[in-house]
Amino acid sequence: MKKDKISYTELTYQVVQQSPDPLPFDEILRRVHAIQPIKTKNPKSTIRSAIGQGRSIVATGDGRYGWKPRLITGSVLRLTLGKSDLSGQAVEFGNDMRDALWPAFLEIQKRIDRSPIQLQLPDGSKTSIPLDFFGKGHWGTSGSPEFWAWFKTLKAKPGDHLIFQVLDGMAKLSCVEFQARSQRDEAAVAARNQAILQAALAFVRNRWQGAAIWDLVSHLLATGQYKHPVPPDPFSEIWTPQVWKPTVAKKEHYGGWSFIGGIDASPVKDELLQGLFGGRAQVYDYENPPDLPPEYRSGGDRRPRPSRKAQRGPVGTLTLRASHRALPGVWRDIEIAEDQTLEDLHLVIQRAFEWNDDHLYSFFMSGRREDYETEVGCPWSETSLHTHQVEMGGLHLQVGRKFLYFFDYGDSHEFDVEVLQINPAAPKNDYPRIVARQGKAPPQYPECDEETGEPIEWDPYRHWKG
């Protein structure tokens, strides 16, 4: 009888999740080994990799690791109401609020949790509110009848605040109250703003590879920076270019820093893509993607779908070169049929680089990851187009064209995909297939310092440092 494959990652998650207190690295290693002896060549490296394969195990800043939903319990955050929030239809969240209320928002596919949370209103009653996608990187909630009934009694004005507190991150329970702008203690809020900024700057200064905005707010929440009765202003209001640009200017780096300043999406200008991206957004259930073939569904046996045309006879194919932007000399050449999809391309790139296919991903046909107008997201994303819906032939690619494959929204791996050749009548074969390769594949996860949790061995963007 075949034994089930041991997953040290799952055991690591189990150990940290079940511990009421954060644990030192060596203690995590000991507890995992006690459950199932670690028989790999380097047990420490195995556990480091396991810790890095998700977003729920976080460093607490004191040499320990804890379970993020538990660590953020007690956090207090401020939301400033704008004119659109007063419409009685939706309230928009910043990265800090979204991360506090939905701490598993950026988890890997099998652990992601964007389901509704329980919100306790000032009278003690509870209501369920969803997380909603408003387009172009904007998130918030459409609330509930109970929430809006309470909200209408506030007679709120632009600039007033909602104050959220995470009562129990494990149980997905938070509470909300109202604070008029005139009721703020300006001196106390200013002091809290400075405390948050100093903690944020200290974090990014020590991150040689830069820091995506969601990693930054996650760190602040996990290290208890928001556990104070006076919440600071929303992070987007205080983390301004005047604050972060001096720090960025001292870094010889390009990659991860591009997210700190926010998003600047540009319109689609490529005439060949106008038909693909010019349509209206679709109604789409990202938790249960419609028309998702069995081969693409979450699980351990995800694989490309065979080309139907190639099974019958000659087929048009594209030969593409995928190279990590940090290591342009390391590449894999892939031949893919015109009736196969971007999802097939994702899966074969993962196979070509021997990675784990355990995070979300997107293709940006303009080559710029901040250009949401040309984004084709994975089946579980809230984009207008999804990878399983777009056939390679429908992209109208030409030789020399490049686009971006962006894998793992947290660690931010960027691959350039270049069209090397187009064959209008390739022979019957099994597509997609890897036809050439150069260089050793980079590791998916860097080695991390056991005390700080910071990467120590592999800087994926070192070629930008000159």
pLDDT band at 270 (very low <50, low <70, confident <90, very high): low
Query: Which whole-number Å values give the CA distances from 135 to 17, 88, 337, 381, 441, in the listed order?
Result: 33, 19, 31, 11, 34
Hunting for tokens 């150069």 — which residue is that? 438
Query: Which whole-number Å values give the CA distances from 412 to 46, 106, 211, 299, in the listed order?
Result: 21, 12, 10, 22
Q: Which strand (E) or helix (H) includes residue 196?
A: helix 186-205
pLDDT value of position 48: 83
The stretch 110-132 carries a mean pLDDT of: 94
pLDDT value of position 217: 93
Residue 229 CB neighbour total at 10 angstroms:
9
pLDDT in tens, 351-366: 999 998 888 899 999 9
Contact predicate 103/57, CB 8 Å: no
pLDDT in tens, 140-184: 999 999 999 999 999 999 999 999 999 999 999 999 999 999 999
- Closest to 223 in 3D by CA, of 12, 64, 94: 64
pLDDT in tens, 68-86: 999 999 999 999 999 999 9
pLDDT in tens, 391-438: 999 999 999 999 999 998 767 789 999 999 999 999 999 999 999 999
Task: Give yes or no for residue 249 having a pLDDT over 50.
Answer: yes
Q: What is the mean pLDDT of the chain?
A: 86
- Closest to 105 in 3D by CA, of 61, 69, 135, 80: 69
Quote the CA–CA distance of 170 and 104 in Å, as a whole number: 11
Does 76 or 275 have the greater pLDDT score?
A: 76
pLDDT in tens, 5-52: 568 889 999 999 999 999 999 999 999 999 999 988 888 878 887 887
Whether the pTM exceeds 0.75: the reply is: no
pLDDT value of position 448: 67
